[in-house]
């Protein structure tokens, strides 16, 4: 099935690598205009170069999503660039893991800020434009379906030892999603979430891999998994393998496409069948 999003403008956060890049690629291939957002300006530029390939409707915005002023700037940027905002994918995030007795206030708040507060602020910023546009379309006798896709995790759905902050933030995303689906149904905006399992990105690479030592502002955070734990977890997946960024992007794209126009307030688990 050839799905065209040629008349849509999308925002993807955390778009410079991994799952975010794969999501952006799906949207670009469907001919959507796409704003790529990431804190890593160099990786963002590289992703834009890879995705463009004659596709002129790609823009980038580098910045810190946890800055309270940034989401308003992001929404203004996409509207100024493309004249609309029709799809919002809140994908940005990282892990900073510890058991509760070793988790500092800073660490716990950092997980809430990127996984829950940043999506809330992005959607609050987008709400003014999206609601006003929906009202004008309704008055003109036209119907336009818009899409929000938030990213959660099986850690947020089932809990996961050692991820008290990450799991709490991702659990909050579910409440955000289900509540906003009820608030925005009247504007013909669907709001759904995708809960990922073990997707093979730098967040679950073996800890010995240099990619797992990442910079978050002035802080460096060790992500990844112990190699033995990663191997054991992979063996528990009923489908017999780790997920790929493309697997993850396919699930998100479903919620961005017209195939899901009558689905809202739902969480789709993309985990190969594993639950923690």
Sign of CA dihedral 251, 255, 257, 260: positive
pLDDT, average across residues 115-127: 98
Domain ranges of the chain: 9-270
Where are the strands (E) in 3-132, listed by range? 9-13, 33-38, 58-62, 87-90
Q: Is 187 a catalytic residue?
A: no
Q: Identify the CATH class of 9-270.
A: alpha beta
Instruction: Enter the tokens of residue 117.
Output: 């507060």
DSSP-assigned beta bridge partners for residue 151: 194
Rounded to whole angstroms, the Cα distance separating 260 from 268 reads 12
- Phi and psi torsions of 61, nearest 5°: -145, 115
pLDDT, average across residues 38-52: 95
Q: What is the 3-state secondary structure (H, E, C) of 61-73?
A: EECCCCCCCHHHH
pLDDT tens profile 129-156: 999 999 999 999 998 999 999 999 999 9
| Burial of 16 from C-beta contacts in 10 A (0-12 / 13-18 / 19+) | buried
pLDDT at 208: 73
pLDDT at 210: 66
pLDDT tens profile 184-233: 999 999 999 999 999 999 888 887 776 777 777 777 888 888 888 888 88
The helix (run of H) or strand (run of E) holding residue 53 is: none
Whether pLDDT at 54 is above 70: no
pLDDT, average across residues 21-48: 96
Where are the strands (E) in the chain, listed by range? 9-13, 33-38, 58-62, 87-90, 146-153, 189-196, 213-216, 219-222, 267-270
Rounded to whole angstroms, the Cα distance separating 67 from 48 reads 23
pLDDT at 55: 63
Find the distance separating the first CA and the last CA of the chain, reported in whole Å. Answer: 34
pLDDT at 209: 74
Instruction: Enter the tokens of residue 265.
Output: 């307030």
In the chain, helix, strand, coil percent, each to 5? Answer: 50, 20, 30
């Amino acid at each position: 099935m050839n799905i065209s999003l040629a008349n849509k403008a999308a925002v993807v956060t955390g778009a410079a690598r991994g799952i975010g890049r794969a999501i952006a690629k799906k949207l670009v291939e469907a001919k959507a205009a796409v704003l790529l957002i990431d804190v890593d300006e160099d990786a963002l530029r590289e992703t834009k170069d890879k995705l463009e390939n004659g596709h002129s409707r790609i823009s980038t915005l580098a910045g810190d999503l946890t800055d309270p002023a940034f989401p308003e700037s992001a929404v203004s940027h996409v509207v100024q660039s493309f004249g609309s905002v029709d799809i919002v994918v809140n994908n940005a995030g990282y892990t900073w893991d510890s058991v509760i007795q070793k988790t500092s206030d800073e660490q716990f708040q950092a997980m809430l800020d990127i996984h829950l507060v940043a999506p809330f602020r992005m959607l609050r910023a987008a709400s003014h434009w999206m609601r006003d546009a929906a009202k004008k379309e309704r008055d003109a006798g036209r119907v336009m379906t818009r899409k929000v896709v938030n990213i959660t995790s099986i850690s947020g759905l089932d809990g996961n030892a050692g991820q008290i902050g990450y799991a709490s933030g991702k659990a909050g995303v579910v409440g955000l999603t289900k509540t906003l689906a009820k608030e925005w149904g009247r504007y013909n905006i669907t709001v759904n979430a995708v809960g990922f399992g073990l997707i093979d990105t730098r967040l679950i690479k073996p800890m010995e891999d240099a990619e797992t030592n990442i910079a978050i502002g002035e802080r460096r955070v060790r992500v990844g998994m112990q190699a033995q734990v990663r191997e054991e977890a992979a063996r528990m997946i009923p489908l017999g393998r780790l997920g790929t960024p493309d697997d993850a992007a396919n699930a998100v794209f479903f919620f961005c496409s017209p195939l899901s126009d009558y689905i809202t307030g739902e969480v789709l688990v993309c985990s190969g069948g594993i639950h923690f």
